[in-house]
């Protein structure tokens, strides 16, 4: 390929480019500044960029006016895009979701170019166009050449085709886009609904061809409803995947904190606060901690009234049914016992129960909430708290915890940017919870003026 120096501002970038990785651009800037551009970018005769967006971006940020380019000659945009996709695979910079989408796009391009082998074709068959030499490889041939198995190719195809487009947009930019096993779980969620939608869409096409308006309207409605349900189930699977990851990180952080205590490394907040019954504490102008009866008016008057979630521990003297009026969802944790016995005594509407790491979690809400359709494996109380926060809340939501425990909910809310209203009757547990928050954050807690009066 001829190499030519081209003004940077003349390079044209298409709309279907991959997102730029800022860290990679910074690395390239340092390399180019020290050694020059060792590998030219690739463009077609019209200066449309085919490969090298990160290199081009780095050169632009360095203020360079020209850039060396490999000039290639392609018949049309499909051939140029095919070369771009192959270049990206060769460089092995793709995330699993990107790779799956590009392989599907590659297959569609090969279909349009007539390069998918059919009965009676030979390797040089090309419908109505000048032959490409050598012929482009099929996806299977190409995948094997870059170390893919046929099974891996089928998995990528499933990820690209079966995940709803709206769900893909949610996944992009998150850690789940890097985890193929989770992407497959999401793709397989809502399989029944996706199949119904595809069947309805085929029937819709037939009805339109026959000009049967009534049948077409009926099939369009079925297809839309099925796609919406598929989207809902796959979004739930995505949230579960994110929640499991958050749970794993939370459990790891908790273990690290315990190890620091054992090693004597915890130094922040050594002046342990002494908390008395009736005290109210503010943590970093965000969380509120109360020492006293969390079923009494002094605590309930502090609550915001529109919390997204309440997390409570079942006790023999349970008198916290009021939580259903303060939070959209109430999660009640217990180690043993029958949830239905508890339900017979509570006025909170029961939705369903989860078993997470030998802990039973009853979910209560006045609204209908879908039960997860896939198995959930989570370790540690910190992990369970992180799972519940990720599944049923968003950043800046309010969370109520009428029992301090070991501060797991308070730390979880801090780590995941939720605001926590937490309390308990045991001054020692409240002190330990505040102490743990101080050690985790490196910040100080302060007693409110009202509790000092």
In sequence order, what DSSP letters do the residues of 339-354 get, joined into one string?
HHHHHHH--SPEEEEE
Residue 87, pLDDT score: 73
**Segment-wise mean pLDDT, segments of 10 residues, the chain, 453 residues:** 83 73 86 87 83 88 90 73 74 77 83 61 44 57 73 87 91 89 92 93 92 92 93 89 82 65 49 76 92 94 94 87 95 76 83 84 91 76 88 94 92 92 93 88 80 50
Where do the domains of the chain lie? Answer: 1-73, 280-452
Per the structure block, which two tokens stand in for 348? 């909170």
Beta strands in 216-326 (DSSP E): 280-283, 287-291, 307-313
In sequence order, what DSSP letters do the residues of 400-437 get, joined into one string?
EES--TTSHHHHHHHHTT-EEEEEES-HHHHHHHHHHH
Beta strands in 13-136 (DSSP E): 41-44, 49-51, 66-72
The fold of 280-452 is Rossmann fold (3.40.50)
d(CA 19, CA 22): 9
DSSP conformational letter for 305 = S
Residue 331, pLDDT score: 95
Q: Give the number of other Cβ atoms within 10 Å of residue 444's Cβ.
A: 14
Residue 219, pLDDT score: 93
Residue 349, pLDDT score: 93
Residue 162, pLDDT score: 93
Residue 132, pLDDT score: 43
The fold of 1-73 is 3.90.1530
d(CA 298, CA 281): 13
Rg, the chain, Cα only: 29
Asked whether the whole model's pTM tops 0.75, one would answer no
């Amino acid at each position: 390929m001829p190499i030519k120096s081209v003004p940077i501002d003349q390079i044209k970038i298409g709309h279907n480019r991959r997102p730029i990785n800022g860290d990679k651009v910074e690395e390239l800037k340092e390399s180019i500044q020290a050694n020059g551009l060792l590998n030219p970018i690739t463009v077609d005769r019209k200066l449309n960029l085919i490969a090298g967006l990160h290199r081009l971006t780095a050169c632009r940020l360095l203020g360079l006016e020209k850039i060396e380019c490999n000039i290639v000659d392609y018949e049309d945009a499909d051939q140029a895009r095919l070369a771009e996709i192959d270049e990206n695979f060769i460089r092995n910079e793709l995330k699993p979701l990107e790779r799956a989408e590009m392989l599907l796009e590659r297959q569609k391009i090969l279909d349009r170019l007539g390069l998918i082998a059919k009965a009676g074709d030979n390797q040089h068959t090309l419908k109505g166009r000048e032959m490409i030499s050598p012929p482009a490889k099929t996806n299977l041939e190409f995948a094997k050449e870059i170390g893919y198995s046929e099974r891996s190719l089928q998995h990528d195809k499933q990820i690209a085709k079966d995940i709803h487009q709206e769900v893909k947009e949610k996944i992009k930019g998150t850690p789940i886009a890097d985890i193929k096993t989770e992407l497959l779980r999401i793709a397989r969620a809502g399989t029944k609904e996706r199949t119904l939608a595809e069947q309805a869409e085929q029937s819709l096409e037939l009805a339109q061809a026959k000009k049967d308006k009534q049948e077409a309207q009926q099939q369009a409605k079925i297809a839309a409803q099925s796609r919406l349900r598929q989207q809902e189930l796959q979004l739930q699977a995505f949230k579960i995947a994110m929640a499991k990851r958050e749970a794993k990180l939370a459990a790891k952080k908790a273990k690290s904190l315990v190890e620091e205590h054992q090693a004597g490394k915890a130094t922040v907040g050594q002046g342990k606060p002494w908390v008395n019954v009736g005290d109210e504490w503010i943590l970093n102008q965000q969380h509120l901690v109360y020492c006293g009866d969390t079923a009494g008016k002094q605590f309930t008057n502090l609550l915001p009234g529109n919390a997204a979630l309440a997390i409570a521990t079942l006790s023999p003297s349970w008198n916290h049914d009021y939580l259903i009026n303060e939070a959209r969802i109430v999660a009640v944790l217990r180690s043993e016992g029958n949830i239905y016995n508890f339900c017979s005594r509570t006025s909170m509407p029961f939705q369903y129960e989860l078993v997470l790491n030998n802990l039973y979690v009853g979910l209560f809400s006045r609204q209908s909430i879908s039960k997860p359709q896939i198995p959930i494996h989570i370790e540690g109380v910190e992990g369970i708290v992180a799972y519940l926060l990720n599944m049923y809340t968003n950043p800046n939501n309010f969370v109520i915890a009428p029992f301090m425990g070991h501060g797991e909910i308070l730390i979880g809310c801090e780590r995941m940017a939720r605001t926590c209203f937490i309390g308990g009757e045991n001054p020692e547990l409240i002190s330990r919870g505040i102490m743990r928050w101080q050690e985790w954050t490196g910040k100080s807690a302060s007693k409110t003026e009202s509790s000092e009066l």
